[in-house]
Structure 1
Amino acid sequence: MDSRRELRKPGFPAQPACKWLSLFVVSCAIYFLLWIPESQPSCFSAVVKCLPVLSLVLFLRSLPSSLGSTSLLQGALLCSAVGDACLIWPDAFLYGVGAFAVAHLFYIWNFGFTPLKLCLLLPIALVTVLYFSLLLLQLSPDMVLPLAGYGLILATLLWRGLALGGIAGWGALLFTFSDCVLAWSTFVRPLPHSRLVVMSTYYAAQALLALTATQGSRLKAS
C-alpha cells in the first residue's frame, strides 16, 4: 500500500503511464532512424513525425486523476501534432504556424500567471525584438504579420515557463530554441544539421512540458 501511495505523489507517474513514455522514446528513435527526407512529404512521414507527440497525449491520459486535469496539456499536444503534420507540406506552412500558436496558448493557459515575475519580461523582450528584427527583414510581406504574432505568443510561453521554473522552464526554453533554429534555417541561412537540432530539442521540449503534469500543485489547476 505504501509503495502505491508513493507512485501517486506528484513527480511519480503511475506504472501504466510509464509504458506511454517508453512508446515516446521508441517512436522518437524510429523517427531519427528512418530520417525520411523532407523532400518526400507523405502521410507516412507525417505519422512517423507525429507519433512521439501523440504518445505523450496517451501518457497524460493515463496519469492518475489525483494529479488533476491534464486537458489543457493534451490540447497543446494535439495542436502540436496538427502543426507537425502541416509542416510536412510546404504549402501548409502557415497552417502549421497557426496550430503551434494555439498549442502555445494552451500551454500558457495551463501554466497560468502566478507567480508573475515581471522581472523576466525585459530580457525576454530584448532578445525577442533583436531576433525578430533580424528575421523579419528576410521575410516576404505575407509572412511578416503571422510570424510576428507567433513570436509574441512564443515569447509569452517562454516567460510563463521560466516564471514557473523547473521542467516547465526548460521545456519552454528548448521549444523556443528549436523554433528559432528552424526559422533562421528556413528564412535566413541554412544551418548545419539544423533538422537534427530542431527535432531533438523539439521532442525534448514536448516531453518536459508534458511531464509538468506530474508536478501537481506547482502548476495552475486546469
Structure 2
Amino acid sequence: MDILDTDAYDKRQRRNTSCMLFLFLLPFFASVALYFYLWIPDSAPSILASGVKAAPVLSLAFVVLKYNGGRSLLGVAGGLVMSAGGDACLIWPNLFLMGMIFFALAHMLYSLTFLTSRYFSHSLSSCGLYFFYLLLWAAGGGIYFYLLPFLKKSPEPEVFVPAVGGYALLIVLMTSLAARTRRPLVLLGGLVFMVSDFTLALQQFKVVEHLEHGKHLVMTTYYLAQLLIAVGDIKATMAEQAEELHKWKRS
C-alpha cells in the first residue's frame, strides 16, 4: 500500500469515525430537545424533572465511556457524572450548595484529565499562552470581586463567600489547563462553561433582578460546554490511538 492509498484510507477512517460519533451523540441532542420542550425550570421540583435535566449530560458520559473505557471514570466521564449530580441538585433551590460541590468535583476531574499524557503538548512555552492565562485569571478574579458584595448579602454569606471563591478558583484552573492542551474544543468548552456559570451567578445572587432569557442562556451554554469537553476528550483519545498506529506502521 503506497502513501496515497494510506492517506485515502486514513481519510475514510476519520470520516466513518465522525459519522459513528454523531450517531452516538443523537441521544444527547434528543434529551436536550426534550428538556427545552418541557422547559424544566418552570416546572415544580421533582425526581422526573431532575432526571430530564441530567439526561443529556449522562448520555455524554456513556459516549465518553464507550470510546475511552473505564479509565475515564476518573476523568471526563466521571466529571460528567458529577455534573449530572449537580444538575439534579439544582432542581431544588435549597440544594444549591450541594450542586456547587458536585460541579466543583467535576472541574477537578476535568483538570486531572487535561494533565494526562493524552493532552501533553510539546510547545507549552508560548508568550501568547501565558498572556492568555493572565487574562483568564484576571477575569476570574474580577468576576468574583464583582459578585462579592452580593454574596455578602446572601442568606448565608459565611458559606457562600468562601464557597463561590473556591468554585471560581477551580473553574478558572480547569479552563487554564484546557488552554494548556492546545485543543480548541476543550478550551472552548471551558470558556463557555465559565460564561454559563457567571450568568447563573448573576441570577442566583440577585445581581440582576430579571435577565431576559437568562435561564435559556445558562442552559444552552451549559449543555454546549459539556458537549465540547466530551467530544474534545474523545478526539484526544482518537488522536492518541492514530499516533500509536502510525508509529506501529513505521516500525
For the superposition of Structure 1 and Structure 2, which TM-score range results when normalised by the shorter chain?
A: 0.7 to 0.9
Name the counterpart of 1:73: 76
Q: Name the SS for the 1:137 alignment partner.
A: helix
In our comparison, the structure showing a higher alpha carbon Rg is 2
The structure that is helix-richer by fraction is 2
Shift of 1:4: 8.8
Q: CA deviation at 1:11?
A: 9.9
User: Deviation at 1:178?
Assistant: 0.3
Equivalent in the alignment of 2:248: none
Structure 2 partner of 1:195: 215
CA distance in 1, matches of 2:93, 2:188: 29
Cα-to-partner distance string for 1:58-89 (whole Å, 9 max, x where unaligned): 11122276xx9533111000000000000011
TM-score, normalised on structure 2?
0.77
1:210 paired with 2:230, answer yes
Runs of 5+ unmatched residues, structure 1: none
1:172 matches 2:174: no
Identity of aligned residues (%): 34
Partner residue in 2 for 1:49? 53
Aligned with 1:191: secondary structure?
A: coil
Residues 5-84 of structure 1 aligned to structure 2 (within 5 Å): 12-13=17-18, 15=20, 17-38=21-42, 40-63=44-67, 69-71=71-73, 72-84=75-87
- Maintained 8 Å contact 1:10/1:216: no
User: TM-score if structure 1 supplies the norm length?
Assistant: 0.86
Indicate the RMSD between aligned Cα atoms, in angstroms.
Answer: 2.7
1:165 CA displacement? 3.5
- Give the drift of 1:119: 3.1
> 1 or 2 for the larger relative contact order (CA 8 Å, sep ≥6)?
1
Residue 64 to residue 73, structure 1, CA distance change in 2 (3 Å): closer
- 1:120 is matched with which residue? 132
**2-side partners of 1:11 and 1:26: how far apart?**
22
How far, CA to CA, are the matches of 1:26 and 1:172 in structure 2?
23
